Amino acid sequence: MTWCTRSGDAMTLELKVFPKSPRCRIGPVEGGRLQVRVHAPPEDGEANAAVVALLAKAFDVPRSAVAILVGQTSRLKSIRITGSAVDPGSFEKGTVDVKSK
């Protein structure tokens, strides 16, 4: 998986984010990046907060365990998730709808 690297209990994901999407969902992988779709608009950090919340829920970690490393103002992001036992490969081929809180 070129879009996901592991180091100890942390993983770094390469994402392409689609804000203002009709559904919140994760996957599939295209162009070497995991696609993440969120409802929130790309304004005032709303989409970034929605991505963090969505990934925290999907990977069963607190929001504080999800950090945006690169791409604060871009659709292309590098995200670090710490302490998750969820296999990121489960998102690789299909899409997973995740209900927002």
Best CA proximity match to 35, nearest among 14, 65, 5? 14
Residues 1-52 pLDDT 10s: 789 999 999 999 999 999 999 999 999 999 999 999 999 999 999 999 999 9
At 22 the three-state DSSP class reads coil
Tell which CATH classification among 3.40.50.10860, 3.40.50.10420, 3.30.1200.10, 3.20.20.140 matches the domain 4-81.
3.30.1200.10
The reported pTM is 0.91
